């Protein structure tokens, strides 16, 4: 395995570490998150490899299993949130105008592939808040070639209209409270960035040509044996190891299939790149 040097850096503009949370609050949130939710929903299958599950806490139907995000100006608590008093207290305390709130569980080995969010919603300004409840060092967000480990004990802001991806390479499961909210005075009060803890952000290295060649060779070997999914995964994972240009991982997959004279598969991945990155 190649040693990949990373350099600690300031947080990218798309991410901010906001308010600190009391450790007792975090402990109550963690207890609830690990004991109350059941029957997690796996949604957005094209965007992930199967290990990302959610349940809604605030939406317009009150159904925790209704997890497909849409504009939702008047959300109400779901049956799940009614059984989670610490979550209720936190949501009320943040004071922001919530569009949707959900718990997201990212299992070991799970990836949300490089994508942009909010593409399907209208132009109303929105922001996404993350409250990490359970995490580990191998769970991180990648945006603009920088990996950000959202540590527990803070409220974080993510602007998801930039290409980003999330992974939990080795586990245990990561659980975040994710709140999509409208921009208003309460949000702007909350959105006062502070320095992240040391180690929370690191710039990833540019990939050398030999690294790209070696990975493509391995992926091609997998595809030639019929392990297409593993081949695609090996190339998509480059986004989490190296600072790649936008959509480069998708291009590498399309090129791999083109090299194998599998033109339909190459075209499928070119189209998928456009959908994932909102370029269509």
| Residue ranges that bind another protein, judged by CB under 8 A | 1-4, 108-109, 136-138, 169-173, 218-219, 221-222, 224-227, 229-230, 233-234, 237
Q: Which is nearer to another protein, 118 or 240 (CB)?
A: 240
Q: Tell me the closest approach of the beta carbon of residue 82 to another protein, in angstroms.
A: 27
Q: Which is nearer to another protein, 181 or 219 (CB)?
A: 219
* Tokens 């593993």 belong to residue: 230
Q: Tell me the closest approach of the beta carbon of residue 106 to another protein, in angstroms.
A: 12
Sign of CA dihedral 160, 280, 75, 58: negative
Q: Which is nearer to another protein, 78 or 173 (CB)?
A: 173
Q: Which is nearer to another protein, 48 or 173 (CB)?
A: 173
Q: Tell me the closest approach of the beta carbon of residue 259 to another protein, in angstroms.
A: 16
Q: Tell me the closest approach of the beta carbon of residue 165 to another protein, in angstroms.
A: 15
Write a three-state SS string for 81-109: HHHCHHHHHHHHHHCCCEEEEEEEEECCC
Q: Tell me the closest approach of the beta carbon of residue 32 to another protein, in angstroms.
A: 18
Q: Which is nearer to another protein, 103 or 234 (CB)?
A: 234
For residues 111 and 141, what is the distance between their CA atoms, to the nearest angstrom?
10
């Amino acid at each position: 395995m190649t040693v990949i040097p990373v350099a600690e850096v300031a947080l990218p503009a798309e991410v901010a570490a906001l308010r600190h949370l009391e450790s007792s609050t975090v402990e109550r949130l963690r207890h609830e998150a690990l004991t109350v939710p059941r029957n997690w929903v796996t949604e957005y299958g094209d965007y992930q490899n199967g290990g990302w599950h959610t349940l809604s806490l605030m939406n317009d139907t009150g159904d925790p299993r209704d997890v497909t995000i849409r504009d939702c100006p008047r959300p109400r608590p779901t049956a799940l949130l009614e059984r989670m008093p610490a979550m209720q207290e936190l949501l009320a305390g943040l004071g922001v105008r919530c569009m949707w709130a959900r718990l997201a569980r990212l299992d070991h080995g799970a990836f949300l592939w490089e994508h942009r969010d909010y593409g399907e919603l209208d132009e109303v300004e929105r922001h996404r808040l993350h409250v990490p409840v359970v995490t580990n060092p191998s769970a991180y967000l990648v945006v603009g070639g920088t990996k950000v480990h959202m540590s527990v004990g803070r409220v974080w802001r993510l602007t998801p209209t930039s290409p980003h991806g999330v992974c939990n390479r080795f586990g245990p499961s990561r659980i975040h409270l994710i709140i999509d909210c409208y921009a208003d005075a309460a949000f702007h009060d909350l959105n006062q960035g502070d320095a992240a803890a040391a180690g929370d952000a690191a710039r990833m290295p540019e990939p050398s040509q030999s690294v790209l060649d070696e990975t493509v060779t391995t992926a091609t070997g997998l595809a030639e044996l019929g392990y297409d999914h593993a081949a695609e995964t090996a190339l998509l994972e480059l986004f989490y190891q190296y600072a790649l240009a936008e959509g480069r991982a998708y291009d590498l997959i399309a090129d791999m299939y083109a090299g194998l004279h599998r033109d339909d598969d190459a075209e499928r991945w070119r189209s998928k790149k456009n959908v994932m990155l909102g370029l269509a």
